[in-house]
Structure 1
């Protein structure tokens, strides 16, 4: 029996993503159209539309569909933006960003994941994404972006990421410590940085953004 990916995709949108208050029609259309199964390892394809974080290798995981939906909705992309993604992973969220924005630069610290994501994006005909194999804490873009999407948690929001935002730009990021991690939208407004709380969630930390171990006697 062949697995009906199109049906699974429709069910994911209607039963997982919409009930989690993702109502932006552009975001829903992209999530309903892009084949999520093409961005995971073959052995996990039947789980591509499940409410799970799927393993990608190197201890990295793919975000749950609901978190991807909320992140895309929060960034409110209209098609003219330049976007920076920190943590390419399997490349599915990258593909969504590429479908919603003018251009995307995506940074992935594991070269093999970056290579695989590049191939998957090419296979889907998404040509406005540049996947860079680099550590975001040692890399410099040399430019600013309209929107930034951080796919791993941070203990505190790194100032270097905020500096990469254009005036008026916004960044989706999950910060804090378990059990009180929070997804927020950081806005780089004229009057300084403004943080808007979105929802509570838990994510693995971005390498280099973990809490400093506390010394205990």
Structure 2
């Protein structure tokens, strides 16, 4: 039976995103158009729009659609903003941010995933994404400061270099937890009197590995 990706995206948006409270019309529109099935292996393409994370190789995953939407909504990205992403993975979250109009800088520590993501994003014509292989917990100092920072892996604390690279009035979204694969999604807002922290919800991400991670 032929699978219609457009119809699958429509169902994903209505049943997984809108029904759970995602309200940002721009996020909903981008995720309703972006071909998520192109960011997973061909054998998993039929499962790409399911309400679940999927393996992408090297022990990593592509986050479930709702989490991608939630983190994107929390960032409140506006066109022209400079956004740092830690954990490129498949490149799907990078693509969402780019489609929202951001100038995306994304760091992936695993060489194979970095190469695949770069090639995939270029093939989709997403030229406002800069990809490099490095320790993401160090951020991207030469390109700082960033209006927004998103971390798609969970560590024991918020890496200090990321807070330092966050612009005034910037927003950082990151999973943090003292045990692996079990975290709280944290929103950090950099105010004139210092960073303000708030907890959003429980989440489960792969490990944030690096100098300031596990």
TM category (shorter chain) comes to over 0.9
Distance apart, 1:116 and its partner CA:
1.0
Correspondences of 1:47-196 after superposition (within 5 Å): 47-137=47-137, 140-142=140-142, 143-178=144-179, 181-196=183-198
Give the 3 Å change call, closer, same or farther, for CA 194–112 of structure 1 in structure 2: same
Q: Are the counterparts in 2 of residues 27 and 72 from structure 1 also a CA contact under 8 Å?
A: yes
Counterpart-to-counterpart distance in 2, 1:2 and 1:72: 31
Using the size of structure 2 for normalisation, the TM-score is 0.93
Q: Alpha-carbon deviations, 1:46-76, whole Å to 9, x = none?
A: 1100111111111111111110000000001
Q: Are the counterparts in 2 of residues 98 and 129 from structure 1 also a CA contact under 8 Å?
A: yes
Q: Unpaired runs of 5+ in structure 2?
A: none
Distance apart, 1:168 and its partner CA:
1.0
Q: Give aligned pairs, total.
A: 210
Q: 2:10 aligned with 1:10, yes or no?
A: yes
Q: Which position in structure 2 is the counterpart of 1:215?
A: none
Using the size of structure 1 for normalisation, the TM-score is 0.92
Q: Unpaired runs of 5+ in structure 1?
A: 211-217
Q: Which position in structure 1 is the counterpart of 2:24?
A: 24
Secondary structure, counterpart of 1:107 in structure 2? strand
Counterpart-to-counterpart distance in 1, 2:188 and 2:94: 20
Distance apart, 1:10 and its partner CA:
0.7
Secondary structure, counterpart of 1:17 in structure 2? helix
Q: Alpha-carbon deviations, 1:103-142, whole Å to 9, x = none?
A: 0010011121111111211122111001111122456432
